[in-house]
C-alpha cells in the first residue's frame, strides 16, 4: 500500500492517539518530498529538498507522532514550528489543531518557504502561516503559543521563545550536543511561572540549525576573543549567563578550549584544569554523566532563567 493510510495504520499500531494517526492519514506526504513516491509512506526520514549548500528532510513520522503526543497537541492550539522545511509536518499538525488553531511555521531558507506555501495551496491547508526567518527570534505577532515544536537541532532555547510561550506551554526540541555525542537529546520543556522544567525524552538525529540557533559556540568564541585577561573572560561568561542560563547543560569546544555552561555554572578547560564560575558539583556531575555516553542525566532537570548572580564563585577543579 502506498498511500497516507499506511502511515495512519502504522501510527495507530504504535499506540498513538486517534487524532494524531488520523492527521497522518489525511496528508499526502509524497508531494513534500524529493525522494521516490514508494518511500513516502514508510516510517523513514526522507530528503525533501536539495540545493547547493543546503538540504532539508521530512522527519521520521513516528518520531513526529512522539513529539506531538509529548506536547499533547490538540484542537484549537497555537503552535510555533521551528524548521518548517517543505511543510509536511506543519500540514499534519494543521489537521490536529483544526480551524480554531494555527501553525506558524518558521523556515530559514527562502526557497523552502516558497515550496511550502505552494504545497499548502495544493492541499487547501489554510491554517498554516509560513514565515521565512531565523526561528531564533520566534514570531511575536501571533504569540502567545501553546506549543513550540522544534524540528531542527538547536544550541539553546532563546529567551524570545520563553516570552512568546504561554504559562503551562510546552517546547519539544532536539538539543545539539554534537561535540560530545552524535545524537541530540530531545528535551520536553514546560513553562511554569519563572521556570522552564526540562525532561529528557529520546535520542534523535536532526539537521543542525543554521543562523542564530546553531552558532552559539561561534558567538561565544567571538566574545572570548574580545576579552583580554582571564578575569575579563570569567566576567564575560557571567554576563553571558542571561542568554545561556536557560539552555540545556552543554559542553562545547571553542578552538582548543572546552567550556561548560548551565544554569548554575560556566567554566573553561585550559592547561589541563577547569576554571569554574559557579557550582563545581554541576560540572562534575555533567562530565560524569556525559562520559557515560548517552547524556540521560538530563532526565529531569530544572533550569531557572532568573538566576541569582550573587551565588557565583570561582574555584579550580583538579
| Cell output for 286 | 555533567
By CB under 6 A, residue 107 contacts ligand SAH: yes
Residues 145-174 that bind ligand SAH (CB under 6 A): 151-152
Find the shortest distance in angstroms from Cβ 262 to ligand SAH. Answer: 22
- By CB under 6 A, name the one of 7, 24, 94, 134 that touches ligand SAH: 134
Rounded CA-CA distance 243/159 in Å is 7
- By beta-carbon proximity to ligand SAH, the closer residue of 109 and 279 is 109
- Residue from 108, 145, 200, 224 touching ligand SAH (CB under 6 A): that is 108
Catalytic residues: 59
CB-based burial, 176-195: b 16+ in 10 Å, e otherwise? bbeebeebbbbbbbbbeeee
Q: DSSP label at 76?
A: T
How far apart CA 242 and CA 163 sit, in angstroms, is 14
DSSP sequence for 208-275: BP-GGGS-HHHHHHHHHHH--SHHHHHHHHHHHHHHHTTSPPEEEEETTEEEEEETTEEEEEETTEEE
Q: State in angstroms the smallest separation of the CB of 5 from ligand SAH.
A: 19
C-alpha cell at 1: 500500500
- Give 29 or 282: the residue with its C-beta nearer to ligand SAH: 29
Q: Is 56 in the site for ligand SAH (CB under 6 A)?
A: yes
- Please count the residues of this chain forming the interface with ligand SAH, following the rule CB under 6 A: 27
135 counts as binding ligand SAH under rule CB under 6 A: yes
The interface region with ligand SAH, picked from 132-140, 169-177, 178-186, 283-291 by CB under 6 A, is 132-140
Phi, psi of 308 (to 5 degrees): -95, 105
Residues lying near ligand SAH in the complex (CB under 6 A) are found at: 48, 56-59, 82-86, 88-89, 106-109, 112, 134-136, 151-152, 207, 209-211, 213
Amino acid at each position: 500500500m502506498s498511500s497516507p493510510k499506511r502511515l495512519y495504520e502504522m501510527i495507530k499500531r504504535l499506540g498513538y492517539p486517534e487524532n494524531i494517526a488520523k492527521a497522518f492519514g489525511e496528508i499526502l506526504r509524497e508531494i513534500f518530498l524529493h525522494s521516490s513516491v514508494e518511500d513516502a509512506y514508510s516510517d523513514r526520514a526522507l530528503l525533501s529538498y536539495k540545493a547547493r549548500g543546503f538540504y532539508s528532510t521530512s522527519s521520521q513520522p513516528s518520531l513526529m507522532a512522539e513529539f506531538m503526543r509529548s506536547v499533547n497537541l490538540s484542537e484549537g492550539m497555537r503552535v510555533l514550528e521551528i524548521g518548517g522545511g517543505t511543510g509536511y509536518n506543519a500540514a499534519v499538525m494543521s489537521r490536529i489543531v483544526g480551524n480554531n488553531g494555527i501553525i506558524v511555521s518558521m523556515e530559514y531558507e527562502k526557497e523552502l518557504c516558497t515550496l511550502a506555501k505552494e504545497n499548502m495551496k495544493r492541499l487547501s491547508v489554510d491554517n498554516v502561516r509560513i514565515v521565512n526567518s531565523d526561528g531564533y527570534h520566534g514570531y511575536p505577532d501571533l504569540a502567545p503559543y501553546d506549543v513550540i515544536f522544534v524540528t531542527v537541532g538547536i544550541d539553546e532555547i532563546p529567551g524570545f521563545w520563553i516570552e512568546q510561550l504561554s504559562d503551562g506551554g510546552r517546547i519539544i526540541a532536539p538539543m545539539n550536543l554534537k561535540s560530545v555525542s552524535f545524537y541530540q537529546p530531545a528535551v520536553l520543556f514546560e513553562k511554569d511561572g519563572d521556570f522552564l522544567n526540562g525532561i529528557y525524552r529520546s535520542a534523535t538525529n536532526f539537521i543542525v540549525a543554521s543562523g542564530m540557533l546553531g552558532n552559539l559556540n561561534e558567538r561565544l568564541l567571538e566574545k572570548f576573543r574580545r576579552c583580554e585577561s582571564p578575569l575579563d573572560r570569567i566576567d564575560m561568561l557571567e554576563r553571558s549567563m542571561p542568554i545561556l542560563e536557560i539552555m540545556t547543560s552543554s559542553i562545547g569546544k571553542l578552538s582548543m578550549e572546552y567550556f561548560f555552561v548551565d544554569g548554575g555554572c560556566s567554566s573553561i578547560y585550559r592547561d589541563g584544569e577547569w576554571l569554574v564560575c559557579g557550582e563545581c558539583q554541576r560540572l562534575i556531575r555533567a562530565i560524569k554523566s556525559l562520559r557515560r555516553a548517552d547524556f540521560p542525566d538530563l532526565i529531569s532537570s530544572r533550569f531557572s532563567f532568573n538566576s541569582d548572580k550573587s551565588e557565583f564563585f570561582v574555584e579550580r577543579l583538579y
